[in-house]
Amino acid sequence: MSPPPHNPRLEELAARRWRVAAVLTTATLVSYFGFILLVAFNKPLMGWQLTPGLSLGILLGALVIFISWALTGIYVRWANNHYDKALDELRR
């Protein structure tokens, strides 16, 4: 079986998908590890009470979860609106 023909448009599309995924993955990792490092090295800041029953650590933990959801949603929306359409055009 011979390899598929060389298609520069497909390679560009794959490179674009990789760049988008890399940026969003990096943003997710920065938010997660930033939170973990704050927990590890600045416990007094994370324990600071914003209101009774709500510390800065709890708020930032919820924010990390929200950021992960949001970045996943951004990727899904980008893939549905750009990547899938471009891939369909290349298949035709």
> Per-residue b/e over 69-84, b at no fewer than 16 CB within 10 Å?
eebeeebeebeeeebe
3: in domain: no
pLDDT tens by residue, 36-56: 999 999 999 999 999 999 999
Residues across the chain: 92
- Report d(CA 62, CA 70) in Å as an integer: 12
Q: What is the pTM of this model?
A: 0.83
1: in domain: no
The domain total for the chain is: 1
54: in domain: yes
81: in domain: yes
pLDDT tens by residue, 53-69: 999 999 999 999 999 99
Q: What is the pLDDT of residue 65?
A: 98
Give me the percent of the chain exceeding a pLDDT of 90. Answer: 87
- Domain residues for the domain of 79 are 8-91
33: in domain: yes
